[in-house]
A and B are shown apart, each in its own frame.
Chain A
Amino acid sequence: MGDLVVGISDVKVTGRPEDVLVTYALGSCIAVAIYDPAAKVGGLLHYMLPDSTLDPEKAAQNPAMFADTGIPLLFKSCYKLGAEKRRIVVRAAGGASILDDTNFFRIGQKNIMAMRKIFWKNNVMIENEDTGGNFNRTVRLHLLNGRAFVKTAGGCIKEL
């Protein structure tokens, strides 16, 4: 069984049932895990920022950095392995914030909203979401059965 580590601003897809896709250090960033149970194909994206208009050049080099370029890349990469949109199950986690951030930087919230907007516009349901809060997360997606798990900094693990 191989753990495929997805870094910050990174995406990986696979169709091998023995693989586990994992991403660590999700602060305000978001992990989007998708899985097609029929094709047994899955992918994990760890994007850092909501909107590629901030730096189009960077977005061209590394689309996985932004929600609006990373999410399409994640889906297209899974289609190449035989996944189909209508069957894909979407789960997401991350988007944490610091305490009392009303007048501070709200990057976690912006990342959550950007993702929801993209899925809503494309008629894709988010099956389950574990976002917000003020703790960091680790996300694992098991290709064997498509189950995904979130671990929070305190060590607590729950199914996504």
Chain B
Amino acid sequence: MNKPAKLEPFLLEPERYEFRALPMHQFALARRDFFKLLGAGIAVFAVAKDLAAQETAPGPRGFHSEELPKEIGAWLHIGEDGTVTGFVGKAEMGQNVRTALAQTIADELGVPFERVHMVLADTALTPWDAGTFGSRTTPTITPQLRRVAAAARDLLREKAAKEWNVPADKLIAGDGKITDPASGRSLRYSDLAREDVTDHRTPPASDPVKPAPQWTVAGTPIPKVDARAFVTGSHLYSTDLRPEGLLHGKVLRPPSFGATLIAYDDSEAKVQPDVVLVHDGDFVGAVAPTVAAAEEALSAIHVQWKEAPQISDQEIFSYLKKNAQPSSEERFRQTKGSVAEGLAYAAHKLDASYNVAYIAHAPLEPRAAVAQWTASKLTVWMGTQRPFAVRDDLADIFHVPEANVRVIVPDTGSAYGGKHTSDAGLEAARLARAAGGHPVKLVWTREEEFTWAYFRPAGVIEVKSGIAADGKLTAWEFHNYHSGMSAIETPYVVANQFTQYHQVPLVLRSGSYRGLAATANHFARETHMDSLARLASMDPLQFRLHNLADQRMRTVLEAGAKAFGWPRQKSAEGQGFGVAAGNEKGSYVATFAEISVDRKAGVVQVKKLVEAFECGAIVNPDGLRNQVVGAMIQGMGGALFEAIQFQNGKITNAHFSSYRVPRFRDLPQIEAVLVNRTDIPSAGAGETPIMAIAPAIGNAFFDATKVRLTNLPLQPERYLA
């Protein structure tokens, strides 16, 4: 058994996509099982090279090429009753993919939206998938689903052509039927799906699919599917499952990170007959009919832990600087021209350093899992972003074949990059192994969630820069220590650049987070750009446009400025306006903030946020708007007050009472401007809308006070004394 809370001696992967080796098998489900599940009908299985995704990427992203999965799969089944079922390995956790993917199938196949159902994130039923992260679902799965749906449509057309003995290319597919315009006759898809046909094909990437301007179902604001189940409380999250014979598990946590168990004595634990204690290496847990009984059993065990002194939040930033690893890896740096030469002819030079604190995802549904062993087979229900990786971990750790492990992901109570790891599933499975075939549920407490999950890593960013007398950038040097490489490259035109990412050994367990390091890198870059605009005596928006060639980024800046009314005249004491922009993962964002500072009262209020966002062709404008506004509000937390505090291997603010997250009274006036580019393939939208919030607010604070904030969280009230 892996220790649940062991410090990982690893260096952080800069992109933290956590990709692993490709799976050995793409199709775990036997065709026989597939039809047993769904009844007769037409099935199209497809696995295709990720060509479309490569086409949609905004060109080569430079020196750190993403290691993307080589193949992605999607399956489609059309039943005799006309029900269409799409199978995709992605997970729904509030980002609304269940709706958006069904829209895509309905659109391409030509069936009413209500007929389409999605089976998501089940390792026994869906194609292998690397995980739901990196804003990948829309750019990779959507084109793949379209090709599968187009292949199914062609198959139906061929069947009807054979039936009528006419050429297939004369027939029209749509509205759930194949029509022969010459004779006016038609056959429903359900009529054509009366026999088992399995078409295991690889639709070529060149197969024509509907371009966005011709979409009829995609591109429309269809409400979230199954929404009724959420307002009635009937939707079952992992934490809500109560399979027959359910027992509850509890894990005894070490007192600090990396602590090792040196003594264990359960002789005084008067264990009730219905309670099982599990002691396996450093892992100690209990299984009982209730959580309270499991807790009681654990409280009677005598344990001793060996602890080690550790870094605290007070010294983290100097630690990160001092412990940067020397690296010769080319993928960590990029050189263009000569920074020294660029600085030599600069009219103004500016060096600055920025710090970014650790923050927590704090998904409202904590990490949890239900596990059940039936003979040598293991089933785990769990809210995870990476069901196939969890399956692999379980198979590995319990020494069972992958085929004997099934991971099912009920639609999940959010994740934000926080549910990549297997922890809760491994723990529940270990406890269930001792539970004699009973299913065991383990729900992390909020304190466990804040302590034993992982964090968005802290970082230090250093920038050296120069501008010419005309306000053009002449030199740009950018160093990121530890926090990551996402969006590390400047989108601005600079002839002389040096960019480097510095790895540092992990202090706190760190991993993926919505936007990854794009938020830290944008905070440093866009704050620095604001300072440079002041040096150049230029309007911050004009300064950016002056140094920008990327048309899509110009467009969002201009669209946001128009909605915000930039440039605005100050109409009140303490008012300030700020702007920040950027691009990442194929989408573009520009954020404008209005802030109000009351120095006497020591109060800073964000009054208004306007954000323009463009991610190519919009699949569902209602879902997108919800997600963009959500990212803006969530981004306010990391911008203004969220920070994990830690001391000697303990998290000292592991509660919602001490770890502040955005609440209703923090809300400013909010406006999202969605730029729809039907001429550009759709990109994901889960992350980019979060990354320009902090610098926009910080820049507005400077505009109001002439005080430059260089740390995240900004905690602006601290600077008003």
User: A and B: real partners?
Assistant: no
Interface residues of B, Cβ cutoff 8 Å to A? none
Interface residues of A, Cβ cutoff 8 Å to B? none
